[in-house]
């Protein structure tokens, strides 16, 4: 198996994987991996998403909507919020804080991001804001398809800690 095929296989098994994670998985040095990922991008073999100082790699079969959800599920706090919202009823902000076991300020930041990314909707019920997942079926499908990969990558997810400071 050549290097590019190996990299594509890793990306297909780990959609939303970061460059450094691919380096760890392959054992390739930065420059060598950069060369191969650039070739894969030029050939249209993978999708590369460069946002806010973060580069993530996706297989071609992952849609834009799915890639946004996958990226959120790879971040601890956003994943905790999404998993809390998988219940069948809308949750209040305080219920989400309780279930996510994070500070209200941290939950507020990441819940806003999930709303902006159109993963979570806000509803007003009895004069109180509640939150619910926009597409529960897609969340279940993504978790089922890529679990445990999405749920076990917590060692690499330091972004939450620094983003919430």
pLDDT one digit per residue (tens) for the chain, 165 residues: 799 999 999 999 999 999 999 999 999 999 999 999 999 999 999 999 988 788 899 999 999 999 999 999 988 899 999 999 987 689 999 999 999 999 999 999 999 999 999 999 999 988 899 999 999 999 999 988 877 555 544 434 444 433 444
Among candidate residues 92, 81, 98, 99, the one with its CA nearest the CA of residue 160: 81
Q: For CATH 1.10.10.10, list the domain ranges present in the chain.
A: 1-61, 69-141
Predicted model pTM? 0.80
The CATH number corresponding to 69-141 among 3.40.50.11440, 3.30.360.10, 1.10.8.620, 1.10.10.10 equals 1.10.10.10
DSSP 17-78: EEHHHHHHHH---HHHHHHHHHHHHHTTSEEEEEETTEEEEEETTS-HHHHHHHHHHTSHHH
Which class would CATH give 1-61? mainly alpha
For 148, the 3-state DSSP assignment is coil
């Amino acid at each position: 198996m050549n290097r590019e095929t190996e990299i594509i296989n890793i990306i297909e098994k780990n959609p939303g994987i970061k460059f450094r994670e691919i380096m760890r998985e392959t054992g390739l040095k930065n420059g060598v991996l950069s060369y191969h990922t650039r070739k894969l991008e030029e050939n249209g073999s993978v999708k590369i998403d460069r946002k806010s100082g973060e580069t993530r790699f996706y297989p071609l079969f992952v849609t834009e909507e799915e890639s946004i959800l996958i990226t959120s599920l790879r971040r601890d706090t956003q994943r905790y919020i999404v998993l809390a919202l998988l219940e069948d009823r809308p949750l209040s902000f305080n219920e989400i804080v309780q279930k996510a076991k994070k500070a209200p300020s941290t939950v507020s930041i990441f819940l806003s991001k999930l709303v902006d990314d159109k993963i979570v909707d806000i509803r007003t019920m009895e004069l109180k804001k509640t939150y619910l997942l926009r597409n529960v079926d897609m969340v279940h499908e993504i978790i089922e398809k890529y679990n445990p990969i999405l749920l076990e990558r917590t060692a690499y997810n330091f972004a939450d800690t620094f983003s919430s400071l």
